[in-house]
């Protein structure tokens, strides 16, 4: 199993866009928060899944073919000498259009954490100071139900957190707390 440092080195090798990198940190943070509740012995590992979930973002033509997003990350990781089927399946599961359906808690968590990170960021950006510290749980829930708001953030994927036994409320709390803790890194 790779360390967080090794995972970060691989990420930096294949990802350049600042907004992709901060998104990777945000999903890593949420995944660690979810692991504290669902799999406390593997917090760093869940973080690594979040950190690497979009590794192929700038390495494949997902804009024209969404099925390649996820499987391409797996190919890159194999090329880097990583052989971790649990990680590979979770990365594919975060994009159901890859053909992989989430089944485990880890897979549901990354499926849900990915859109939630962008959603919380979108809510923060409504506020004059654009700070995550200004965002209240109930504002996130209110916007969640306004389907035109941040409509790219898939509500069904976020609600899939319920398959782990946690609630959407829990996911929102974790996202606000964990993204808030690294707000400077995220620029929020
Ligand atoms: Fe993502």
Name the domain count of the chain: 1
The domain in which residue 76 lies consists of 4-186
Confidence check: pLDDT of 57 > 90: yes
* Mean pLDDT for all residues in the chain: 97
Indicate the pLDDT class of residue 54, thresholds 50, 70 and 90.
very high
Instruction: pLDDT band for 80, please (50, 70, 90 cuts).
Output: very high
Q: In CATH, what number is assigned to the domain containing residue 154?
A: 1.10.3210
Residues 151/24/174/138 CA torsion (nearest 10 deg): -30
Cα separations in angstroms, 27 against 39, 95, 141, 178: 16, 14, 19, 9
**d(CA 91, ligand 1 centre) in Å:** 10
Residue 141: per-residue pLDDT:
97
Percent of the chain with pLDDT over 90: 98
What is the per-residue pLDDT for 1? Answer: 81
127 C-alpha to ligand 1 centroid (Å)? 23
Query: Does the pLDDT value for residue 6 go beyond 90?
Result: yes
Q: Does the structure show a pLDDT above 90 at 95?
A: yes
Q: For the residues of 78-120, what is the DSSP string, one character each?
A: HHTT---HHHHHHHHHTSGGGTPPP-SHHHHHHHHHHHHHHHH
- Whether 51 shows a pLDDT value over 90: the answer reads yes
Going from the Cα of 115 to the center of ligand 1, the distance in angstroms, rounded, reads: 7
Ligand 1 centre to CA of 165 (Å) is: 22
Q: Mean pLDDT, to the nearest integer, of 35-59? A: 98
């Amino acid at each position: 199993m790779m360390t967080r440092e090794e995972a970060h080195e691989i990420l930096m090798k294949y990802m350049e866009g600042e907004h992709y990198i901060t998104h990777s940190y945000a999903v890593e943070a949420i995944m660690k928060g979810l692991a504290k509740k669902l799999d406390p012995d593997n917090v760093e590992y869940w973080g690594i899944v979040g950190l690497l979930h979009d590794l192929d973002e700038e390495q494949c033509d997902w804009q024209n073919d969404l099925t390649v997003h996820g499987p391409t990350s797996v190919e890159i990781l194999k090329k880097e000498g990583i052989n971790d089927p649990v990680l590979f399946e979770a990365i594919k599961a975060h994009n159901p259009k890859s053909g992989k359906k989430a089944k485990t808690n880890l897979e549901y968590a990354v499926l849900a954490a990915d859109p939630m990170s962008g959603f919380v960021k979108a809510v923060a950006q409504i506020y004059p100071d654009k700070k995550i510290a200004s965002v209240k749980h109930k504002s996130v829930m209110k916007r969640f139900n306004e389907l035109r708001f941040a409509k790219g953030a898939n509500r069904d994927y976020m609600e899939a957190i319920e398959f782990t036994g946690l609630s959407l409320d829990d996911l929102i709390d974790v996202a606000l707390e964990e993204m808030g803790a690294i707000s400077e890194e995220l620029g929020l």
